Structure 1
């Protein structure tokens, strides 16, 4: 058999991606695993006064202060339940190609499973939800619908400026006031 005939008969492998599956209430959601830096247990956080309710606070991680949002509170206005399966998931937050990725913590319920599937299996669900642009397409399987959460679209400009000020705050200003 010629090499050309072998290439013609070869089936192109389906592009598979790994997703971290979690829940908000009874509904299933997924983050693309390539966006996940680390999955940690739920840790104590320092609250940020006057921040939106869904900004859970900040914590120190390997010498850096990382802001954390509660995805349950952001999406449905209810804080995540404190369960043994509630995790603090660090993601690479990058709102656009010109901005370097920064760590952002997400409090996620039941973030204990993964799924490998073709990203093309996720389909638009026909609703223009401008209040939650991070809620992407859905995928149907034996357990129902699974919705893709897009990390880049989690924060609007106002919250991004609060959590990731640009330029960073100048500590010398605080020293002068003291």
Structure 2
């Protein structure tokens, strides 16, 4: 391979990013892999009283209490199917760049595959969906459309305050 061809290949590879793919019903979605901390099997959760129905509960992971949301229930009001491919995905949740990142668990169906592509392949879809700011741009391929989920936009300020109350997170000073 010539030096010029090798450089072109390096430039092409550098623009690509890795995404974790999953489904909600029959629809495909993706999370940027750099936002994913761990992919775990579905685990038992402790429910949180008076939380929105899409807040699945909490669990202890490495000494930290981690709140978990069911993304299917958040987006469409139906709980994720209990399948062997349903995973508990820990993401690094950081709603503001000035805030410290915290773990947030997501119950995701069929979260077993990845995709490497150029993030610019995802394009705005032309709707202003203020009720679901986490729904990002879409990418078209031979299987149809796939939508990018913005982790930082998953929680409203009220839910964020409930799930990440200052001084109530393990390891924080009170």
Give the whole-Å Cα distance in 2 for the aligned partners of 1:168 and 1:48.
Answer: 14
Deviation, structure 1 residue 166: 2.2
1:106-117 paired onto structure 2 within 5 Å: 106-117=106-117
Task: Tell me the TM-score normalised to structure 2 length.
Answer: 0.90
**Which position in structure 1 is the counterpart of 2:136?**
136
Task: Tell me the TM-score normalised to structure 1 length.
Answer: 0.88
**Which position in structure 1 is the counterpart of 2:63?**
63
**Which position in structure 2 is the counterpart of 1:158?**
158
Count of residue pairs the alignment pairs up: 164
1:44-59 paired onto structure 2 within 5 Å: 44-59=44-59
Secondary structure, aligned partner of 1:128:
coil
Deviation, structure 1 residue 13: 1.4
Give the whole-Å Cα distance in 1 for the aligned partners of 2:167 and 2:159.
Answer: 15
Give the whole-Å Cα distance in 2 for the aligned partners of 1:64 and 1:168.
Answer: 11
**Which position in structure 2 is the counterpart of 1:85?**
85
1:26-45 paired onto structure 2 within 5 Å: 26-45=26-45
Give the whole-Å Cα distance in 2 for the aligned partners of 1:167 and 1:45.
Answer: 22
**Which position in structure 1 is the counterpart of 2:172?**
none
**Which position in structure 2 is the counterpart of 1:96?**
96
Give the whole-Å Cα distance in 2 for the aligned partners of 1:166 and 1:157.
Answer: 13
Give the whole-Å Cα distance in 2 for the aligned partners of 1:122 and 1:83.
Answer: 28
Secondary structure, aligned partner of 1:136:
strand
Give the whole-Å Cα distance in 2 for the aligned partners of 1:138 and 1:57.
Answer: 29
Deviation, structure 1 residue 127: 0.3
Deviation, structure 1 residue 167: 4.1
**Which position in structure 2 is the counterpart of 1:118?**
118
Task: Name the Cα RMSD after superposition.
Answer: 1.7
* Post-superposition CA distance 1:58-97 (Å, at most 9, x none): 0000011000000000000000000000000000000011
Give the whole-Å Cα distance in 1 for the aligned partners of 2:103 and 2:60.
Answer: 11
Gaps of 5+ in 1: 1-5, 170-178
Off by >2 Å, runs of 4+ in structure 1: 166-169
Give the whole-Å Cα distance in 1 for the aligned partners of 2:86 and 2:137.
Answer: 24
Gaps of 5+ in 2: 170-174
